């Protein structure tokens, strides 16, 4: 099948995001822990691009009872989004590139005193076999990366267009069940790494943005992972 015009970028960004997600948060990377809740650790680096806060964020979480495939599928699929994305006012799939790649147009709820934002991004889901450790379980990754489309020009309506590059990387670990027993959900653990760089687009006060990030990101990840557990608990396991 002919590859889409975005395919080279999707391939490049997805692999870059996978590499970036695997980098640790220790050492000289400048990551500072800013939120902790149970097994969730959230780190950020304070960075500005032409006076705008674009603090990269990296969150590491461990969730029991769901697989990486299930978690990435929920994060990717439009039909689940209203169930876990509390900051969305509107969401449209504007292009169906393939069954693993969509383009979303989203309007985010206004967060006072910042102007309301919208985002236009491609979203790609993929299973990655772990080349470094073949007997480790597969990784799943979803990448959301801002893009431009002539039909949806930036900053023409009431919203300021924000630019995002986000990845969700999940790895599944299975405690071997007793001889001859089936794998149960309590034998499954999913290690989640969520990375995000959001450029708010138009001006927003640094102090306000940092306060919003500090408040919103922990809520966002907890709400998302709880939704995944609830969605999957009574369903057959999808590896
Ligand atoms: O993971 S996704 O791809 C899921 C698809 O929806 C994602 C997540 C978050 C955002 C987003 C959008 C707007 C804002 C700000 C910028 C100025 C004013 C609003 C923020 C900052 C404020 C932080 C934040 C973090 C989490 C949730 C909401 N708010 C984040 C976009 C996409």
Q: What is the pLDDT of residues 83-103, one digit of tens each?
A: 999 999 999 999 999 999 999
For the cut 80, the answer to whether the pLDDT of residue 229 exceeds it is yes
Mutate to test the pocket of ligand 1, among 49, 58, 203, 212 (most ligand atoms within 8 A of CB): 212
The CA 232 to ligand 1 mean position distance, Å, reads: 25
The CA 192 to ligand 1 mean position distance, Å, reads: 18
The CA 73 to ligand 1 mean position distance, Å, reads: 19
Measured in whole angstroms, the distance separating CA 119 from the mean position of its chain's CA atoms is 14
In 3-state terms, the chain is what percent helix, strand and coil (to 5)? Answer: 25, 35, 35
38 neighbors 60 (Cβ within 8 angstroms): no
pTM of the model: 0.95
**Runs of H (alpha helix) within the chain:** 7-22, 68-76, 78-84, 206-232
| φ/ψ of residue 116, rounded to 5 | -65, 145
- Ligand 1: residues whose CB is within 6 Å? 85, 87, 106, 108, 111, 114, 117, 119, 144, 162, 164, 166, 196, 198, 200, 204, 212-213, 216-217, 220
Q: What is the pLDDT of residue 215?
A: 93
pLDDT digit string, tens, across residues 118-162: 999 999 999 998 666 666 677 999 999 999 999 999 999 999 999
Residue with tokens 């007997």: 135
For the cut 70, the answer to whether the pLDDT of residue 69 exceeds it is yes
- Size (the chain), residues: 239
């Amino acid at each position: 099948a002919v590859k889409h015009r975005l395919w080279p970028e999707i391939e490049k960004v997805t692999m870059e995001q996978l590499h970036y997600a695997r980098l640790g948060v220790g050492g000289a990377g400048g990551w500072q822990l800013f939120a902790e809740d149970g097994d969730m650790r959230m780190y950020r680096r304070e960075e500005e691009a032409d006076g705008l806060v674009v603090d990269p964020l990296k969150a590491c979480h461990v969730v029991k009872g769901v697989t990486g495939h299930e978690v990435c599928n929920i994060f990717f699929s439009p039909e689940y989004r209203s169930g876990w994305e509390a900051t969305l006012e509107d969401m449209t799939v504007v292009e169906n590139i393939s069954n693993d790649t969509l383009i979303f147009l989203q309007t985010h709820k206004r967060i006072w005193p910042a102007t309301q934002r919208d985002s236009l991004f491609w979203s790609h889901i993929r299973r990655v076999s772990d080349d470094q450790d073949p007997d480790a379980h597969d990784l799943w990754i979803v990448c959301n990366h801002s893009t431009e489309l002539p039909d949806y020009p930036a900053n023409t309506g009431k919203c300021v267009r924000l630019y995002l590059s986000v990845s969700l990387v999940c790895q599944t670990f299975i405690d071997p069940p007793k001889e001859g027993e089936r794998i149960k959900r309590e034998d499954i653990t999913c290690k989640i790494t969520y990375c995000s760089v959001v450029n708010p687009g138009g001006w927003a006060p640094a102090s306000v943005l940092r306060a919003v990030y500090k408040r919103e990101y922990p809520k966002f990840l907890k709400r998302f992972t709880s939704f995944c557990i609830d969605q999957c608990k009574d369903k057959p396991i999808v590896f």
